[in-house]
Amino acid sequence: MEIELLKEELNILNSKLEIQIKNNNELYINTTSNEVKAVVELLLSKFKITFVGQFCSQKQIFTINIILSNRSQGYFIIVRYDTTDELVSLQDITYQGHLFEREIADLYGIKIIGGKDTRNIVKHEVWQKDVFPLRKEYAFGSKIKPANEADEYQFKKVSGSGGYQIPVGPVHAGIIEPGHFRFSAIGEPIENLEIRLMYKHKGIEKICENIDANKLNLVFERIAGESSAAYAECYALLVEKLMKWEISNEVKALRVVLLELERIYNYLDDIAGICVDVAYSYPAKRFNYFSEMIHQLCERVTGSRFSRNAIVPGGININFTSKHKDDILHTLGSIEKRLNNIIQATLSSVSFLDRIESTGVLYNKTATKLILTGVVGRASDIRYDVRKSFPYEIYKEIKTKANAELSGGVCERYNLKITEIKDAFEFIRKALSLIQADIPRTKKEVVIQEGNEAYAAVETVKGELVVYGQAGKNNMWNRIYFKTPSFTNWNGLTYAVSGEIVPDFPLCNKSFNMSYAENDR
C-alpha cells in the first residue's frame, strides 16, 4: 500500500490519530501510551508492515519512537507517544522488541511495563545504579564511574543431570572486542547460547549531540570501522534529505564505487575467515591477499584504506581523475580471474563442503521472527536489501534484485557473500562507465534548521542501517539514533548454533561475522 493510501486508511480506522507525511517517505503517527500497542499491532498484522526498531528522544518529556517500514513501497512509519517514566512493552507482538526496550531503560531510566525481559543490556554490573547517560541533564563529557551498583545479570540456568555451561569471553585469546558467549550443552551438542555484549559503551549518540553538523561525518565513519563508507553515506543521505540537496549523477556513481569496494574487501575477509575455521589455509590466504589489494586501492583513490572522509554531505571530498578510474578497473581485472579460480577450488573440495553444508542452519521462519537483515537474512530467504527497497544513489538503475538463498546455513552465507562480491565488481564497472570526466572535490556547508527531522537507510556489509536525526540548536543535532544491523542480527547466531557441536561455533560465528562495535556505540 502506498504511503498516501495508508494514511487515508488509518484515518478511517482511527480518526483520533495525528498523522503526517514528511520527506516523501516518512509517515509519522502520534498516539498515546494507551493506544500505541493497538496501533502497532494493527500495522503489523493488517498492513504487513515490518518492525525495525525503537528508541527514545527527549525535550521537556520523553518521546518513544517505534520505527516500522513498508519494504515493498520503500517508506518508514514512525509511531510515537510521550511519556514521563514508563514504556509500553511490545515484546508479545514483536520478538526483538526486548532489545530496544532494555536499551531505552538503561540509557534513560524509563520503566518497561508489561515486558517479559527487563534485564539490563547496556548497564553492566560495574555501572552506577541511577546514571542515565542519554538524558539531557547528564552532562556531556561526564564519565560513568565504576561503582558496582547495577543489578547482576541473570543468565539462563542449566537444569537436570548431564548439563553443563561453557563461558567464553568477554576477554578473548585474540585482538578482538569484548563479548561474552555462554554455551549450555548436554554432551557435545549446544542446547542454548546466550550472548552478552556492550562491554565498551562509547556514548556515540551523546557525542553526536555535541558536534557541529559539518564535522559529524568523521564520527559516523568511526562507529564501525569495517563499514566506514556506508556510515558516511548514511550521514550524507540524512543531511541531503533535510537540506533537499540534489547530487550529480557522477558523484552518485563515485559513491557507489566506494561503497562496493568496501563490500568487496569485507566479504573477502569473511569468506577467508570461514576457510580458516575449517583449516583450509590456502584459499584463506589468497582471499586475504585480494582484500589487501582492495584496501590499498582505496588508499590510492581516497587517501584512506577505509575510504574515510571521502563521502560527505553535498558531494565528495576527493579529487577523482581518469587515473583513479583506470587504477580501479585494472586492479579489479587483475583480481577477478584469480579470485574465481580460488572460489571454484573451495566449492570443489569435498572436505570443505562437508564442514559448511547443513551447518549453522537458520530457517526463514526464525530469521523473520528475529527481523534479520543483510546477508544473514537473505541467506534464510528474506528477500530484502536496502539498495533495492530504499534505493539511493544509482542503485535503482543497477540493483535489480535481492540475492537470496533458502536454508540459511554456513554454506548459504558463504555462497551469498561470493555472489555479493561478484555483483560488486559489476556495479563498480557500471558506475565507472557513468563517469566520463574528472570529478573535483565538492563539499557544501551544512546548516540544519532546528526541529527538522528525517530518517536515512543504507545497506552496510552487516545489513540494514537506519539513522534518525533531529536538528537542534547551534547547528548541532538534538538527537541522532542508530539502528545498527548487528544489534538485531547477533541473536540469529544463538539459533544457528543450536544443536551444533561446540567446535563448530567459530565457523557459524564467522559466517555471521557481526560487529561488536555496532552494539558498543
Task: Indicate the SS3 state at residue 106.
Answer: helix
As a whole number of angstroms, the distance between CA 445 and CA 116 comes to: 47
Q: What is the pLDDT of residue 169?
A: 86
Q: Residue 16 belongs to a domain with what CATH number?
A: 3.30.460.80
- Which domain-ending residue is among 120, 152, 184? 152
Whether residue 235 sits in one domain with residue 92: no
* DSSP conformation class of 503: G
- C-alpha cell recorded at residue 368: 523473520
- For residues 148 and 216, membership in a common domain is answered with no
Where residue 483 sits, what CATH number does that domain have? 1.10.645.10
Q: Let me know the angle formed at the C-alpha of 189 by 184 and 194, rounded to the nearest 5 degrees.
A: 30
What is the C-alpha separation between 515 and 81, in angstroms, rounded?
31
pLDDT at position 219 is: 97
Quickly count: other Cβ atoms within 10 Å of residue 2's Cβ.
Answer: 10
What pLDDT shows up at residue 60?
A: 86
Domain boundary among 109, 136, 152: 152
pLDDT at res. 191? 92
pLDDT of residue 161: 79
For position 159, what pLDDT does the model report? 75
Contacts of 350 (CB under 8 A, 6+ apart): none
Spatial separation of the C-alpha atoms in residues 400 and 349, rounded to whole Å: 32
Residue 318 structural domain = 208-512
Distance of CA 513 to the CA centre of its chain: 12
Q: How far apart are CA 227 and CA 485, in angstroms?
A: 11
Residues 295 and 427 in one domain: yes
- Cα separation of 332 and 290, whole Å? 10
Does residue 359 sit in the same domain as residue 463?
yes
Instruction: Report the pLDDT value the prediction gives residue 174, as an integer from 0 to 100.
Output: 76
72 is a domain residue? yes
Amino acid identity, position 462:
K
**How high is the pLDDT of residue 177?**
86
One-letter identity of residue 276 = V
Whether residues 271 and 343 share a domain: the answer is yes
The low-confidence residues of the chain, meaning pLDDT below 70, are none
Domain termination residue (choose one: 105, 132, 152): 152
Give the residue among 220, 438, 203, 439 at the shortest CA–CA distance from 309: 220
Q: What is the DSSP letter of 326?
A: H
Cβ neighbors of 31 (< 8 A, separation 6 or more) are: 16, 17, 18, 39, 79, 80, 81
Structure pTM?
0.96
Radius of gyration in angstroms for the set of CA atoms belonging to the chain, rounded to a whole number: 23
Q: Which whole-number Å values give the CA distances from 435 to 249, 271, 281, 324, in the listed order?
A: 8, 31, 39, 11
**Grid coordinates 543450536 are at which residue?**
498
The CB-side HSE value for 472 (13 A sphere, CA atoms) comes to: 18
Do 373 and 458 fall into the same domain?
Answer: yes
Nearest CA to 231 out of 520, 471, 416, 464 is that of: 464
Q: Which of 423, 25, 497, 443 is nearest to 263 (CA)?
A: 423
Q: Where are the beta strands (DSSP E) in 2-49?
A: 18-22, 26-30
The total of structural domains in the chain comes to 2
Is the same domain home to 100 and 219? no
Whether 238 and 387 map to the same domain: the answer is yes
Residues 148 and 212 in one domain: no
Other residues' Cβ atoms within 10 Å of the Cβ of residue 84:
9
What are 420's three cell numbers?
A: 555479493
| Domain presence at residue 163 | no
In a domain? residue 320: yes
User: Over the stretch 41-88, which tens digit does the pLDDT of each residue have?
Assistant: 999 999 989 999 999 999 889 999 999 999 999 999 999 999 999 999
Q: C-alpha grid cell for residue 316?
A: 565528495
Q: Based on the domain organization, do 393 and 498 belong to the same domain?
A: yes
**What is the reported pLDDT for 29?**
97
Q: Which three cell numbers stand for residue 7?
A: 494514511
- Tell me, rounded to whole angstroms, the distance of Cα 37 from its chain centroid: 25
The sign of the CA dihedral 491, 496, 499, 500 is: negative
User: Rounded to whole angstroms, how far apart are CA atoms 493 and 433?
Assistant: 40
DSSP annotation string for 180-230:
EEEEEEESSBEEEEEEE--TT---HHHHHTTS-TTTHHHHHTTSSGGGHHH
- Does some domain include residue 198? no
Q: Which residues contact 226 (CB under 8 A, 6 or more apart)?
A: 262, 266, 306, 461, 462, 515
Burial (CB < 10 A; 0-12, 13-18, 19+), residue 289, is middle
pLDDT of residue 94: 95
The predicted pLDDT at position 281 comes to 96
- Cell 563442503 sits at which residue? 353
Query: What per-residue confidence (pLDDT) applies to 15?
Result: 84
How confident is the model at residue 172, as a pLDDT? 83
Domain contains 181: no
500 domain-assigned: yes
- Closest by Cα among 348, 361, 427, 367 to 395: 427
- Would you state the cell numbers that stand for residue 213, as one nine-digit string? 553538523
Considering the domain architecture, whether residues 134 and 235 belong to the same structural domain is answered as no
Is 411 within the bounds of a domain? Answer: yes
For residue 296, is it within any domain?
Answer: yes
Say if residue 142 is in the same domain as residue 277.
Answer: no
Residues shown for the chain: 521
